[in-house]
């Protein structure tokens, strides 16, 4: 699988649960199909938006198996496999490869706060053991450590480290990153609202939360940016910005799952420690959905 497979708009898929709390396999399949039918460029199961820390290893593999099966080779699958134990991350990534994933999205080690040399050796070890493209996931607001530009630049020399999902929120760092890495190395936005700024400086797309709700619109926005039509892309960006923002009114993926439930796409079920949004947040989410002309009632028909 070539690294360019993971350009454009990829969706960081939510993980739907049934009312009793079990994995809702039918809904996983239905959501993947909805994304593919909308023209999404690649799918990203078992990331942050998928509540992955609450899934068992067997559930993570099963989610990826279902998404891979539903994709049927029509779009690539970039499966999440990260953590703070390098050996366990390698085992998880190899399991994702056996499940049919085309690449691995690996979040930086959290809690342990490794040095930059530790981060480099962590990703080097994963890349040496896993025969798939690896996308580094930098999200210091969740992990407690930042994969610095100099470290990413070092990692570009490793053949199957294909790119980075940059979710630091630091636009200056993103500018420095795009300047420091080869043009063949993928820089993907990790925040929906920063998709256009990142693409304007050389980024190749987005791993998106909002595409769970509006995949076709995000695809159009990214494709316009890829084609150099930043005016057209900006119009869509401005239209979708309130939804991009409300998805983070509380810890993600709480708001996006609440919105999808309002749209009739999933049952609104979370696993602790995540809980449903407050009533004030719920009302704000519903208002934004209605402003975009999206169904926002509990009785909305499922897609």
Q: Are strands 103-107 and 78-80 parallel, antiparallel or unpaired?
A: parallel
Place of tokens 């076709």: 216
Q: Around Cβ 162, how many Cβ atoms within 10 Å?
A: 26
**Active-site option among 113, 123, 165, 257:** 165
Three-state DSSP at 42 gives strand
Active site annotation includes 113: no
Which H helix or E strand runs over 137?
strand 134-138
| Catalytic residue, candidates 123, 137, 257, 270 | 137
Whole-Å CA distances, 237 to 192, 221, 241, 246, 270: 9, 7, 6, 14, 29
Q: Is 165 a catalytic residue?
A: yes
Dihedral of the CA atoms 52, 54, 59, 64 (nearest 10)?
-10
- Of 169, 262, 248, 271, the C-alpha closest to 213 is 262
Catalytic residues: 137, 165
């Amino acid at each position: 699988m070539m690294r360019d497979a993971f350009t454009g708009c990829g969706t960081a898929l939510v993980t739907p649960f049934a009312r009793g709390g079990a994995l809702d396999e039918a809904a996983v399949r239905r959501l993947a199909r909805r994304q593919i039918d909308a023209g999404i460029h690649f799918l990203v199961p078992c990331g942050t938006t998928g509540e992955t820390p609450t899934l068992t290893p067997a559930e993570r593999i099963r989610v990826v198996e279902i998404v891979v099966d539903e994709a049927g080779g029509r779009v690539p699958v970039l499966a999440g496999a990260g953590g703070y134990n390098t050996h366990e991350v390698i085992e998880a990534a190899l399991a994702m490869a056996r499940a049919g994933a085309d690449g691995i999205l690996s979040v930086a080690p959290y809690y342990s706060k490794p040095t930059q040399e530790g981060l480099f050796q962590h990703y080097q070890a994963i890349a040496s053991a896993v025969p798939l493209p690896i996308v580094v996931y930098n999200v210091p607001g969740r992990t407690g450590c930042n994969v610095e530009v100099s470290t990413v630049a070092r990692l570009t020399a490793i053949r199957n480290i294909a790119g980075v999902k940059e979710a630091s929120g630091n636009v200056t760092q993103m500018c420095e990153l795009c300047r420091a890495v080869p043009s063949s190395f993928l820089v993907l936005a990790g925040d929906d609202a920063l998709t256009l700024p990142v693409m304007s400086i050389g980024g190749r797309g987005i791993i998106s939360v909002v595409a769970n709700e509006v995949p076709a619109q995000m695809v159009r926005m990214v494709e316009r940016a890829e084609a150099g039509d930043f005016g057209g892309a900006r119009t869509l960006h401005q239209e979708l910005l309130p939804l991009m923002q409300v998805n983070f009114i509380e810890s993600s993926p709480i708001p996006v799952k609440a919105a999808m439930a309002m749209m009739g796409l999933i049952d609104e079920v979370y696993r602790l420690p995540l809980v449903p949004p407050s009533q004030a947040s719920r009302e704000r989410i519903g208002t934004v959905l209605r402003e975009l002309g999206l169904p926002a009632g509990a009785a909305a028909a499922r897609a």
